[in-house]
A and B are shown apart, each in its own frame.
Chain A
Amino acid sequence: MTFSTPTTPTSPVAVRGDGAGTPVAIGLRGVTKTYGAVHAVRGLDLEIAPGEIVAFLGPNGAGKTSTIDMILGLSRPTSGSVAVLGMPPHQAIRRGLVSAVMQTGGLLKDLTVAETVAFTASLFHSAVAVDDVLRRAGIAGIADRLVGKCSGGEQQRLRFAMALLPDPALLLLDEPTTGMDVEGRRSFWAAIRADAEAGRTVLFATHYLEEADAYADRIILISKGRVVADGTSAQVRALASGTTVRATLEGADPETLRRLPGVDSVEVRGDTVLVHTRDGDGVARYLLNQTEARDLQVTTRGLEDAFLALTGHEDDATEIEESHR
């Protein structure tokens, strides 16, 4: 896992260096997107391997939707290149290799749920059976309902069912649970998760921290059109706020602890020692192996703190993307 800063140099993209020549699911190289004077994306280098479940996390206006549109071929980067499964996005779309669940819209109110799926299925060279995707999305019971009469959550499940039709290698979800209640979100994610177990690559954009935390193998945090952190949820958390290791240790030597890799500060309160560090595992290993420490507690601060620390204030950026919707 890598942690990039806004000035990270370009990483090799397009084909993974595993010798097999397997194309990466998504490869972005030096991608920028400018709308007039607004820089929505300011140089993204990303490589997402097949089978990864990745959260694209960031405040409104961070450039998430702009990036997803480019991966889907709905818009073209101002500069840089986008490859999906080793080919240009529109070719991947035509072969049914990529699907997306968009946030809103994209449905005809005067078709039923089953008709909408059948309509979409007819467009692909080969598609999964309509009944099958309805069942997997949990909407087999409302197959004959008009789309206009479906709730927001049901419509979102319908979009998911449509996305499953071509059995895509890559599934993109743009803020898929916006407007759903807690239960709706939970069951929606359960369906996605169950589906992804088959090895599908999933990239979802969200500004719900807990969603990124709970459902992604990897979190890519972006702010103002740049990647500010990239790693597991624990890594991203630790990056901003660090980990606190607390232990009972008689006669602790603060100087030795301070010299451990990644340690920011050490507090000693009687028999209790508190170590603030970016490498909690390392400190814990040292304390348990090299000292008499006991009652060890390792706590990372919430992802929310990491999020705020890394993305900075978000108000100015918010207006930018809203005006381009």
Chain B
Amino acid sequence: MSTPTLPDVTTRRAPALGGFNLTLVRLELRRLLRNRRTVIFTLVMPIVFFLMFGLNAQYADRSAGHGNWSASIMVSMAAYGAMLGTTSSGASVAVERSLGWSRQLRLTPLNPAAYIVVKLLLALAVGLTSILAVYVAGLVSHKPSMPVSLWIVTALLAWAGSLVFAAFGLFMGYLLPSENVMQILGPVLAILAFLGGLFIPLDEGSVLATIAQFTPMYGLNGLVHAPLTTAPFKVTWVVNLVTWLLLFSTGAVWRFRRDTARV
């Protein structure tokens, strides 16, 4: 047996910020760019929808409050893109779990909360890219029209609200098996977008519209369009958004804890 050169245990320290650091974010971003195929899919879909439904010549003439109908559809598709991007990005943890990467990370000082923060930041980066992509398509097409300030305000609202779906994606990523997370979530998101009134406005007062108020896209849809359409502000939008954010975050934390539980 060789002479032990045991490091002085007392000099060893845990990392600051639970292990959160910019190298981590940079490398995760690089992975994202490397997996362009999945990212591009979430970027292209909303643009295609915008080009299909938002460029109708009549829409350019039809007023929607401070802008035209085309602008309103662009805002809808940006919100849809943000929803797709953040959800799919969050849900990618399912793959990391199946590869045993989450388990490997438990052998490092990385704090689970710090890891979740990195994942949320990344999901928000994808969400923002998706919003910008739709708005660029809108700019290039010259059809949507609204004051510059509203381009900015609606984009920021869609982005901030997409945090709900980043949490949703993480929740699902920890809940569902890895192989088919997005096959399951794609249709689910389409239904949620429809119920939220993102694709077509639901008839006020109908049973469907009443139910729809309780679905996760309802609040975000109302909030992103309000500055443009000058629709009266409803507290229920905010209540809806915050409630779902809390539900999804709690779900994500609950599943995450189970995933990393020391059993």
Bound together: yes
Tell me if B57 counts as interface (CB < 8 A to partner A): no
**What residues of chain B lie closer than 8 Å to A313, measured between beta carbons?**
none
How far is B15's CA from A115's CA once the two chains are assembled, in angstroms? 19
Binary CB contact string for chain A from 77 to 100 against chain B (1 if under 8 A, 0 otherwise): 000000001110010011111111
Q: Is the CB of A123 within 8 A of B100?
A: no
Q: Is the CB of B99 within 8 A of A107?
A: yes
Tell me if A197 counts as interface (CB < 8 A to partner B): yes
**What residues of chain B lie closer than 8 Å to A94, measured between beta carbons?**
14-15, 109
Asked, given contacts A95-B14, A199-B3, whether A108 binds B9 with beta carbons under 8 Å apart, the answer is no
Tell me if B156 counts as interface (CB < 8 A to partner A): no
Q: Is the CB of B6 within 8 A of A123?
A: no
**What residues of chain B lie closer than 8 Å to A120, measured between beta carbons?**
108
How far is B245's CA from A208's CA once the two chains are assembled, in angstroms? 52
Q: Is the CB of B4 within 8 A of A199?
A: yes
Q: Is the CB of B99 within 8 A of A118?
A: no
- Min CB distance B50 to A, Å, is 30
Query: A185-243: which have CB < 8 Å to B?
Result: 196-199, 201, 217
Q: How would you classify the secondary structure of chain B's contact residues: helix, strand, loop or mixed?
A: loop
**What residues of chain B lie closer than 8 Å to A201, measured between beta carbons?**
4, 6
**Cβ contact of B104, chosen from A85, A102, A196, cutoff 8 A:** A102
**Cβ contact of B100, chosen from A22, A76, A104, cutoff 8 A:** A104
How far is B12's CA from A87's CA once the two chains are assembled, in angstroms? 12
- Min CB distance B39 to A, Å, is 12
Q: Is the CB of B15 within 8 A of A110?
A: no
**Cβ contact of B2, chosen from A86, A125, A197, cutoff 8 A:** A197
**What residues of chain B lie closer than 8 Å to A110, measured between beta carbons?**
31, 34-35
How far is B4's CA from A62's CA once the two chains are assembled, in angstroms? 30
How far is B24's CA from A294's CA once the two chains are assembled, in angstroms? 69
Tell me if B226 counts as interface (CB < 8 A to partner A): no
Asked, given contacts A106-B101, A198-B5, A199-B4, whether A73 binds B31 with beta carbons under 8 Å apart, the answer is no
How far is B5's CA from A199's CA once the two chains are assembled, in angstroms? 5
**What residues of chain A lie closer than 8 Å to B3, measured between beta carbons?**
51, 199
Q: Is the CB of A93 within 8 A of B108?
A: yes
Tell me if A3 counts as interface (CB < 8 A to partner B): no
Binary CB contact string for chain B from 1 to 44 against chain A (1 if under 8 A, 0 otherwise): 11111110100111110010101100100110011000000000
Asked, given contacts A115-B27, A124-B108, whether A97 binds B12 with beta carbons under 8 Å apart, the answer is yes
Number of B residues, CB within 8 Å of A: 36
**Cβ contact of A74, chosen from B5, B6, B103, B110, cutoff 8 A:** B103
**Cβ contact of A75, chosen from B12, B16, B101, B263, cutoff 8 A:** B263
- Min CB distance B36 to A, Å, is 11
How far is B3's CA from A70's CA once the two chains are assembled, in angstroms? 27
- Min CB distance A150 to B, Å, is 14
**Cβ contact of A123, chosen from B1, B13, B30, B109, cutoff 8 A:** B109
**What residues of chain B lie closer than 8 Å to A49, measured between beta carbons?**
1, 4
Query: B198-239: which have CB < 8 Å to A?
Result: none
Q: Is the CB of B12 within 8 A of A23?
A: no
Binary CB contact string for chain B from 90 to 116 against chain A (1 if under 8 A, 0 otherwise): 000000100111011111111000000
Number of A-B pairs whose CB atoms are under 8 Å?
129
**What residues of chain B lie closer than 8 Å to A125, measured between beta carbons?**
12-16, 109
**Cβ contact of B9, chosen from A87, A100, A123, A196, cutoff 8 A:** A87
Q: Is the CB of B4 within 8 A of A73?
A: no
Q: Is the CB of B6 within 8 A of A199?
A: yes
Tell me if A310 counts as interface (CB < 8 A to partner B): no
- Min CB distance A122 to B, Å, is 4
Q: Is the CB of B110 within 8 A of A123?
A: yes
**What residues of chain A lie closer than 8 Å to B14, measured between beta carbons?**
94-95, 125
- Min CB distance B34 to A, Å, is 5
**Cβ contact of A95, chosen from B19, B35, B96, B109, cutoff 8 A:** B109
Q: Is the CB of B27 within 8 A of A118?
A: yes
Q: Is the CB of A108 within 8 A of B107?
A: no
Q: Is the CB of A107 within 8 A of B104?
A: yes
Q: Is the CB of B30 within 8 A of A115?
A: yes
**What residues of chain B lie closer than 8 Å to A50, measured between beta carbons?**
4, 6
- Min CB distance B147 to A, Å, is 42
Asked, given contacts A197-B2, A199-B2, A199-B6, whether A119 binds B13 with beta carbons under 8 Å apart, the answer is no
**Cβ contact of B107, chosen from A25, A53, A93, A104, cutoff 8 A:** A93
**What residues of chain A lie closer than 8 Å to B30, measured between beta carbons?**
111, 115
Asked, given contacts A76-B263, A86-B9, A93-B108, whether A122 binds B21 with beta carbons under 8 Å apart, the answer is yes
Other than the given A124-B108, A197-B2, 16 more pairs (CB < 8 A) read A51-B3, A52-B1, A72-B107, A74-B107, A75-B263, A85-B6, A96-B12, A97-B7, A100-B107, A104-B100, A108-B99, A110-B35, A119-B23, A124-B19, A198-B5, A199-B5
Could you give 23 example pairs across A and B, Cβ below 8 Å? A51-B1, A51-B2, A52-B1, A72-B107, A73-B106, A73-B262, A74-B103, A76-B263, A85-B9, A93-B106, A95-B13, A98-B107, A100-B107, A102-B107, A115-B27, A119-B24, A123-B19, A124-B19, A125-B109, A169-B7, A198-B2, A198-B5, A201-B4
- Leading 7 A-B pairs by shortest Cβ distance: A105-B100, A106-B104, A51-B4, A122-B23, A95-B12, A199-B5, A50-B4
